[in-house]
Amino acid sequence: MLEASPLDEGWTLRHEGEPLPASVPGCVHTDLLAAGVVPDPFVGTGEDEVAWVGRREWTYERELPAALSGHEQTDLVFDGLDTVAEITVDGRPLGRVRNMHRSYRFDVTGLEGPLAVRFISAYAEAEAVRGTVGDRPAAYAEPYQYLRKMACSFGWDWGPTLVTAGIWRPVRLERWSTARLARVRPLVSVEQGFGVVELRVDVERTRVEAALTVEARVGGLRARAEVSGSTATVRIEVPDARLWWPRGYGEQPLYEVELTLLHGGAPLDVWRRRVGFRTVGLDTSADAHGTGFTLVVNGERLFARGVNWIPDDVFPSRVTRERYRARLEQAAGAGVDLVRVWGGGLYESEDFYDACDELGLLVWQDFPFACAAYPEEQPLRGEVEAEARENVVRLMPHPSLVLWNGNNENLWGFRDWGWEERLAGDSWGEGYYLGVLPRVVAELDPTRPYTPGSPWSGSWEHHPNDPAHGTHHSWEVWNRRDYTEYLREVPRFVAEFGWQAPPAHATLRRALPGEELAPDSPGMLHHQKAEDGNGKLARGLARRFAVPEGDFDRWHYLTQVTQARAVAAGVEHWRSHWPVCAGTIVWQLNDCWPVTSWAAIDGDGREKPLYHELRRLYADRLLTLRARDHGLVLAAVNQSREPWTGAVSLRRMSVEGAVIEAAELELAVGARAVGELPVPPGLEPAGAKEFLVADAPGSPRPGGGAAGEGLRALHFPAADRDIPYPRPRFEVSLVPGGVTVTAGTLVRDLLLQADRLGPTARADRGLVTLLPGERVTIGVRGWETPDAAAARAALYCQEPAR
């Protein structure tokens, strides 16, 4: 039987000729940090002080243990090496590697002695490849397009430049005899009520003549097949298989699959995975609106409620199974049902996809290409195909994985970013996205759809980012316009859009100790990586608010409000246009360090107001007031499986709290549908002193009640700076597990910044608007010493313009 022995202990890292303790899995930066050689690059401007690390060579060393008797072959297996390395045993070369996204296996039978992994600087390798293949344009000046490495380790508009090296995934010895399982490819399908698992098996042999069989088991069902040469196929049909569904559509049953390689009845190797039975398709058919892009799971057409995922740490070896689970539970808790693994990052670990399988989170997986022209010559071309083949097979068992995507923004970049002229006919990646990658997916994983890129309109007949065709990235709004400009278009699928805000106050205090915080203080500027990011934040605020000079706390609060409102403007608009628009993927869920960014969850794992707003925006039922060509309408978005019926109250109100006019409408919306009701004449607010409130059953009523129990939509026709808000009055009281706020006036965008109560404190809701007489209870966990005065000091809301 194959025996695997981890080699995670006893490693050292050579630093200036001296050995330092090394952690495997890990990387040079984390080892130097643990040894006290470098400062924390996440704190202050520490990033700059460790820039030299990525430009050095580094060597990891340990003893390779002597082979044990009883096995014919011993393999040294690296699940991941970052990125360019030479491996030797007792000075004898085993091989040279150059791809972070692959695993490696070396025959070390009979070898023992010093094992060394010498990492060459990623910069040196990139420059060498550039010298061979020629220059290629990219969105950033760093040379990430010349090697197969996590692109964002070279920095991004939300990430630090920390170019890593190291043994970043587990390493082990595998000892075996006769044969082993080299590859198992599970094709999982649903056929006429049966769940079908067809296992395509490749074996590696030491004995060509040995008669081998494979036995598969799913639950109590078993099947066998003989190995012919080095391959076998075994198929099991599971009657009455329970379907795996995305969250909100059904349950997520998972089936254990076990495949055993046998010789004369004796087991040689075992492969185990979990699978789920479901069908998945992508409808890209043409219609009266253009070219669609709709995911279809088990025959159910979905509006995808998505978030973009970046590596959760710039040092990915630090992301544990528990951390993946916590972050993805946060996503599910916000109503998310799709996570896009973005192309400047990684094929994530099994822990990520296992959690998505269990939580019902659909996974859109980018191949790791982003924002650059990638050469198609060797040595890159062979590496690209090898990594694609390995990772497609590795991730195939996961039912959560529903889409392969060829790249992020490279087809768009070729057309719009001046690449075509600069390239002058040189290769740039099109052969990967329209050739190599779809061929690999079609050959190895025909159960899932593939799309060449995001954005992509389906063919070169349309602009790659045409909102009427395929996927669309909406960045003109953040970069140049007011967020109300989202309302001008109804893309078929919005795969990226977003708005920035700083992280939580406690996160800033940890990352910038001792700094007097200001939008343009040194640390704040260092932790703002977007081009003119602060300028865009300032212009976004100026369109809406009168921002007091020199008041950082107010600036911090208002930028958080603006981020939540901007994303809400887009999601409410696009969801109200289902099924023409079939999904939104907010940029972005998470951060890889403490930074001002588009994330809903900051680099310390704290939830911004945007996170809580997503819970409302991505709920099965959403109420929103929309301006249409024929006037104001109430749109009821019903993504639940049941019809939505009942009375909805509308109130035209003054900002002083008086009800000017009211009406009640009857709502009747089918399952997975959107309904619209015209707002009756006389209810549209007139000018900045009025607003409109729509409440669905269970929502608060005038004269009392708790806010947030039902569904509410608000429509303010003017920018906040023009609204004569009353001076907010509210009472604060402590209750078990939280704080209750009772409004004496209109209190708009009330926010408890729980982290100001203590670094571990978390609130269970974000922004809430109270009408006079209403109250809300905000749950707080992790608050060690509850105090009403402290709670009041941590509460923020809209105030009259100064």
- Which residues are part of the catalytic machinery? 409
Do the Cβ atoms of 462 and 477 come closer than 8 Å? no
Do the Cβ atoms of 277 and 243 come closer than 8 Å? yes
Do the Cβ atoms of 234 and 201 come closer than 8 Å? yes
| H or E element, residue 200 | strand 194-205
DSSP H helical ranges for 168-233: none
What is the rounded CA–CA span in Å between residue 17 and residue 62? 15
How far is residue 775 CA from its own chain's centroid?
35
Q: Structure tokens of 665?
A: 């409408």
What is the rounded CA–CA span in Å between residue 246 and residue 301? 11
Q: Residue holding tokens 């595998």?
A: 174
The CA-based dihedral angle spanning residues 18, 22, 28, 29, taken in that order and rounded to the nearest 10 degrees: -110
Do the Cβ atoms of 601 and 329 come closer than 8 Å? no
At a CB cut-off of 8 Å and minimum separation 6, what does 487 contact? Answer: 569, 573, 627
Sheet holding 631-638, edge to edge: 621-628, 631-638, 673-678
What is the rounded CA–CA span in Å between residue 363 and residue 653? 43
Say if residue 279 is exposed, middle or buried (CB neighbours under 10 Å; 0-12, 13-18, 19+): middle
Say if residue 91 is exposed, middle or buried (CB neighbours under 10 Å; 0-12, 13-18, 19+): exposed
Q: Residue holding tokens 């097949």?
A: 225
Do the Cβ atoms of 154 and 163 come closer than 8 Å? yes
Strands in 293-380 per DSSP E: 294-297, 300-301, 304-309, 338-341, 362-366
User: DSSP secondary structure string, 615-684?
Assistant: HHHTSSEEEEEEEETTEEEEEEEE-SSS-EEEEEEEEEEETTS-EEEEEEEEEEE-TTEEEEEEPPTT-S
According to DSSP, the β-strands at 290-291 and 286-287 are: antiparallel
Residue 696 gets which letter from DSSP? -
SS3 740: strand
Strand partners for 93: 88
Do the Cβ atoms of 41 and 29 come closer than 8 Å? yes
Say if residue 309 is exposed, middle or buried (CB neighbours under 10 Å; 0-12, 13-18, 19+): buried
